[in-house]
Amino acid sequence: MVQGLSRLKESASQTAGPYVHIGLTPNFVGISGVYERDLGAAMVADKTKGERIRVNIRVIDGAGSPLKDALVEIWQADAAGIYNSPSDLRGSADPNFTGWGRLPTDMTTGECMFETIKPGRVPFFDGRKMAPHLTVWIVARGINIGLHTRMYFGDEETANAEDPVLMRIEQRERVSTLVAPRDGDIYKFDIHLQGMNETVFFDI
C-alpha cells in the first residue's frame, strides 16, 4: 500500500436540458421580476474600446437543423488582448468590457447575435501570439457535457496562418470549421455538431 493522493473527482456533467433558459436567461422566457436583466446579455458599453462587431452563431445538428433550444456563451479578450479576469496577470482589461456573453438561440430561427468588439491577440503558453479568437461554449438538451470550441475571424488570414492552435489541426480541411467569414460588421459562425463539416471541438 501507498499513501493516497486524496484528490476529489470533478462533479460529473449532466445535460442542461430543454429548460436551461429558466435558470440562465429567465427574462428571455418570460420569468420577469426575479433578476433585473439576463446575465451576459450586454458585453459592451458606450465607452468600450475597440472595433464594434456582431457575431451571428448557429448550432446545427446531424440532420442539418439549427438548434432552437441551445445556449451559447463566449469568452474573449479586450481590444488590447487582455482578459477581464484576475488570472490574467499581464495588466488591467478595459473596465467597460466584460469579455463574457451569454445568449439563447432564437426559438424560431435558431440564431443568436452577440454585439461585441474584435479581440486583440493573446499569447500562447510559449509566447507566440495566437490569432484573435473567441472561446465558445455550447450547452443544450441532448448535449451531455458542454462543448468547447473557438471562433477565428475570416479577415485575419495572416494571423490565422500562424496561429499555434489552428496549426495543430492535422486534417487541414477542418481548419475552416473554426473560421467565421465576415460580411459587413457581422461574422457568421455556423457550428456543426456532426457530419462532413463537423466543427473542431476541444478537450481543454
Partner 1 sequence: MTKSRFPANRTPEIGAFFQRDRNWHPPAFTPAYKTSVLRSPQRPLLSLDNTLSELTGPVFGHNILGELDNDLIYNFAGPGESAIGPRILVYGRVLDERGIGVAGALLEIWQANAGGRYRHKKETYLAPLDPNFGGCGRTITGEDGSYCFRTVQPGPYPWPNGPNDWRPAHIHFSIFGHGFAQRLITQMYFEGDPMIWRCPIVRTINDRRAIEGLTAALDMEATMPMDARAYKFDIVLRGRRSTPFENRIEGS
Q: Which residues, numbered 167-196, are part of the site for partner 1 (CB under 8 A)?
A: 168-169, 193-194
Closest listed residue to residue 149, CA positions, set 57, 23, 24, 85: 57
**Angle, CA 138 vertex, CA 137 and CA 144 arms, to 5°:** 115
Q: Which is nearer to partner 1, 181 or 202 (CB)?
A: 202
Q: Under a CB-based contact definition with an 8 Å cutoff, are residues 47 and 60 in contact?
A: no
81-110 footprint of partner 1 as x/- string (CB under 8 A): --xxxxxxxx-x--x--xxx----------
Closest CB 128 distance from Fe ion, rounded Å: 44
- The footprint of partner 1 on residues 24-53 (CB under 8 A) is 24, 26, 29-31, 33-36, 39
Distance CA 65, CA 167 (A): 30
Closest CB 134 distance from partner 1, rounded Å: 9
Q: Under a CB-based contact definition with an 8 Å cutoff, are residues 148 and 190 in contact?
A: no
- Residue of the chain from 11, 46, 47, 172 that contacts partner 1 (CB under 8 A): 11
Closest CB 124 distance from partner 1, rounded Å: 6
Eight-class DSSP state of 123: B
Tell me the Ramachandran region of residue 162: left when phi exceeds 0, alpha when psi lies from -120 to 50, beta otherwise: alpha
3-32 footprint of Fe ion as x/- string (CB under 5 A): --------------x---------------
Closest CB 50 distance from partner 1, rounded Å: 17
Q: Which is nearer to partner 1, 18 or 183 (CB)?
A: 18
Closest CB 154 distance from partner 1, rounded Å: 19
Q: Under a CB-based contact definition with an 8 Å cutoff, are residues 25 and 102 in contact?
A: yes
Distance CA 57, CA 126 (A): 31
Q: Which residues make up the interface to Fe ion (CB under 5 A)?
A: 17
